[in-house]
């Protein structure tokens, strides 16, 4: 089906799905979920993402001798963070990572199915596949919502990263919130379009049934019998 043949609701659904994928991908990969006030030069934390942390000069609070300081940005699962990983990967943050990863994966799968539906799948299967896409989008939005609510409630708490008074939720987190909202919007738009398609198919089916029940008058007159 060509782009010009799509309904306005379907086009808007494609646009919001693409936008949500871009926003969630950026939020997933960038280390700016939590950041420290740049005006505070004594802050130990620079910024933190789902998979990367950046410290200015941070010592493990459990290291009473402060023998090792962490400076710069590293992947959370880097070898240098072996002794610090239990401090970073506390249960609520692991839950955020898991839910946002699931949400991103489901959103990516939904967008792949949308692309396949637009390019190569027959139109007869469009409605069935659209329902699957809607389910994936809703599940993705719910998972991402759980992740951002959890991080928003606990991310800048006083029991985790250093200098909590100078830490704030940053733009990667904001993109995650906006991406989850756009995913909900895409799901609603596709749901409305699927209902429109279902009504259209029902009308076509009723018309075909009504046409099949009407007697045909195209055949010739019946033959006459001789007396």
131: domain CATH number? 1.20.140.150
Could you tell me the maximum CA-CA distance found in the chain, to the nearest angstrom? 124
Helix (H/G/I), strand (E/B), else coil: 84: coil
**What kind and span of H or E run contains 168?**
strand 167-169
Residue 16's nearest CA partner among 140, 196, 169 is: 140
Dihedral angle computed from the Cα positions of residues 171, 173, 175 and 177, in that order, rounded to the nearest 10 degrees = -140
Identify the domain containing residue 170 by its residue range: 7-208
- On whether residue 40 sits in a domain, the answer given is yes
Question: Is pLDDT above 90 for 152?
Answer: yes
Please give the pLDDT value at position 121.
63
Read off the pLDDT of each residue in 173-190 and give the average, rounded to a whole number: 97
- On whether residue 227 sits in a domain, the answer given is no
Read off the pLDDT of each residue in 39-59 and give the average, rounded to a whole number: 88
- On whether residue 116 sits in a domain, the answer given is yes
> For the whole prediction, is pTM greater than 0.85?
no
- On whether residue 78 sits in a domain, the answer given is yes
- On whether residue 219 sits in a domain, the answer given is no
Identify the residue with better confidence: 71 or 101: 101
Domains in the chain: how many in total?
A: 1
Q: How far apart are CA 28 and CA 105, in angstroms?
A: 11
- On whether residue 38 sits in a domain, the answer given is yes
- On whether residue 224 sits in a domain, the answer given is no
- On whether residue 225 sits in a domain, the answer given is no
């Amino acid at each position: 089906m060509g782009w010009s043949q799509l309904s306005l609701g379907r086009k808007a659904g494609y646009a919001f799905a693409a936008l949500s994928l871009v926003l969630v991908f950026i939020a997933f990969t960038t280390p700016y979920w939590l950041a420290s006030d740049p005006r505070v030069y004594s802050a130990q934390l620079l910024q933190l993402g789902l998979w990367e942390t950046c410290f200015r000069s941070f010592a493990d609070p459990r290291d009473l001798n402060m023998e090792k300081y962490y400076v710069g940005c590293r992947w959370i699962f880097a070898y240098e963070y072996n002794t610090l990983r239990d401090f970073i990967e506390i249960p609520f943050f692991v839950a955020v990572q898991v839910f946002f990863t699931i949400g991103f994966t489901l959103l990516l799968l939904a967008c792949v199915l949308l692309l396949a539906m637009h390019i190569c799948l027959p139109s007869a299967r469009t409605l069935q596949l659209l329902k699957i896409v809607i389910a994936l989008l809703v599940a993705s939005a719910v998972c991402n919502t759980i992740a951002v609510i959890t991080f928003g409630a606990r991310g800048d708490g006083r029991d985790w990263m250093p200098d909590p008074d100078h830490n704030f939720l940053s733009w990667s987190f904001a993109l995650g919130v906006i991406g989850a909202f756009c995913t909900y919007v895409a799901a609603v738009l596709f749901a409305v379009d699927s209902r429109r398609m279902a009504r259209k198919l029902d009308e076509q089916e009723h018309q075909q049934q009504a046409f099949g029940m009407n007697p045909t008058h195209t055949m010739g007159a019946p033959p006459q019998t001789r007396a």
